[in-house]
A = this chain, B = another copy of it.
Amino acid sequence: MSSIRYQVNEPRTIDPARALALRQEIEEFNADYCATLDANDIESWPEFFTEDGLYRVTSRENVELGLPVGLVYAEGRDMMHDRAAAIARTQMFAPRYMLHVLSNTRVISEAGGEIQAKTAFLLMQTLVEGPTTLHLAGVYHDRFVRVADSLKLIERQVVHDTNILANDLVYPV
């Protein structure tokens, strides 16, 4: 498993004009990613990753303490599909709405066909008959590659500021 390379304020090593063009493309990608999850269409979620893509959720505190792993969700699209199917079957899933709000996408580098980027996120949750609350806030630490002209994630590390119980992290961020 790839180790997390966590640095909130990582210096950029990419030409500004190129960063801007890639940012647009990543914003389009993320808008589709979020719309898929906000529609509860989690069975389509693994398609945003490469076949062997890594998805991981870790608290910022764990990362800064140098703890080796967080809550690994899935390594490889097969594991994501299994997980997504299991979640989709549960009845627990229906009665809540999720809404992603993203901001400040920063393209850090592009080398060897790999694009590294970070994006701040807020994940809002609305329970039936309940208020809308902030479920999770943090930063996506992403590595993208291009597959058949489309971007795919080879790695999305979700590093959240929010203190949260592992049980509450069952759904993809």
Confirm or deny: A30 has a beta carbon within 8 angstroms of a beta carbon on chain B: yes
Assess whether B31 is in contact with A104, with CB atoms less than 8 Å apart. Answer: yes
Complex: A44 Cα to B120 Cα, angstroms: 20
Within 8 A of B (CB), among A126-153: 126, 128-134, 136-139
A contact residues, total (Cβ < 8 Å): 53
Assess whether A131 is in contact with B162, with CB atoms less than 8 Å apart. Answer: yes
> Shortest beta-carbon distance, A35 to chain B, in Å?
5
Complex interface: chain B residues within 8 A of A25 (CB): 20
Known: A9-B36, A128-B61. A104 touches B104 (CB 8 A): no
Query: What is the interface of chain A mostly: helix, strand, loop, or mixed?
Result: mixed
Assess whether B139 is in contact with A161, with CB atoms less than 8 Å apart. Answer: no
Assess whether A100 is in contact with B120, with CB atoms less than 8 Å apart. Answer: yes
Quickly give the copy total for this chain. 3
Assess whether A28 is in contact with B20, with CB atoms less than 8 Å apart. Answer: yes
Of the candidates B99, B105, B136, which one forms a contact with A137 in the assembled complex, judged by CB atoms under 8 Å apart?
B99
Assess whether B132 is in contact with A126, with CB atoms less than 8 Å apart. Answer: no
Complex: A106 Cα to B33 Cα, angstroms: 11
Residue of B nearest to A162 (CB): B132
Confirm or deny: A24 has a beta carbon within 8 angstroms of a beta carbon on chain B: yes
Assess whether B8 is in contact with A28, with CB atoms less than 8 Å apart. Answer: no
Q: Which residues of A contact B (CB under 8 A)?
A: 7-10, 12, 16, 19-20, 23-25, 27-28, 30-32, 34-36, 38-39, 41, 44, 60-61, 97, 99-106, 118, 120, 122, 124, 126, 128-134, 136-139, 161-163
